Chain A
Amino acid sequence: MSAAAAKAKRAVRRPVSIASFAQSENVRRDDQHNEVEMLMPVVAEVFANIGITKNDIDFICSGSSDYLIGGPFSFVTALDAVGVWPPMPESHTEMDGAWALYEAWVLLQEGEIDAALVYSFGRSSPGNLNEILALQLDPYYLAPLWPDPVSVAALQARALIDAGKGSEEDFAAIASRSRKDALSNPKAQVAHDIPVETLLRDEYVVSPLRRHTLPPITDGAAAMVLAAGDKAREWSDKPVWITGFDHRIETHSLGGRDLTSSPSTAKAADVAGVADGPIDVAELHAPFAHQEIILKEALGLDDGVTINPSGGALAANPIMSAGLIRIGEAAARIASGQAARAVAHATSGPCLQQNLVCVLEGE
Chain B
Amino acid sequence: MPESEALHASHVLEYPYSRSVGPVIGAFLTGLRDGKLLGVRGTGGSVIVPPTEYDPATGEDTGELVEVGPGGVVESWAWVPNPLPKHPLARPFAWALIRLDGADTAMLHVVDAGGPDQVATGDRVTVRFRPAGERIGAMADIEAFVPEGGAS
Contact = CB atoms under 8 A, between A and B. Distances in A.
B146 interface: no
Contact of B107 (A67, A141, A144, A146): A141
B43 to A, nearest CB: 13
A52 B25 CA distance: 53
A162 B121 contact: yes
B81 interface: yes
Nearest to B15: A72
Contact of A154 (B25, B78, B88, B106): B78
Interface string B19-35: 10100010001000000
B60 to A, nearest CB: 13
A67 B87 CA distance: 20
Interface string B90-128: 000001111100000111111000001000010000000
Given A32-B1, A70-B13, A148-B84, A141 B108 contact: yes
Contacts of B138: 144
Contacts of A154: 78-79, 95
B82 to A, nearest CB: 8
A255 B107 contact: yes
Nearest to B139: A144
B55 to A, nearest CB: 9
A53 interface: no
Contacts of A349: none
Contacts of A254: 97, 106, 108
A158 interface: yes
A147 B8 CA distance: 28
Interface stretch (A40-48, A202-210, A316-324): A202-210
A252 B110 CA distance: 19
Given A141-B108, A145-B110, A253-B56, A208 B78 contact: yes
B116 A207 contact: yes
Contacts of A134: 86
Interface string A219-233: 000000000000000
Interface in A19-45: 31-32
A249 to B, nearest CB: 10
Given A140-B29, A254-B97, A255-B98, 11 more contacts: A31-B3, A141-B108, A145-B110, A155-B97, A158-B121, A253-B56, A254-B108, A255-B49, A255-B75, A255-B99, A256-B106
14 contacts: A141-B108, A144-B140, A145-B87, A145-B109, A145-B110, A148-B84, A151-B78, A155-B95, A159-B75, A162-B76, A253-B50, A253-B105, A254-B97, A255-B49
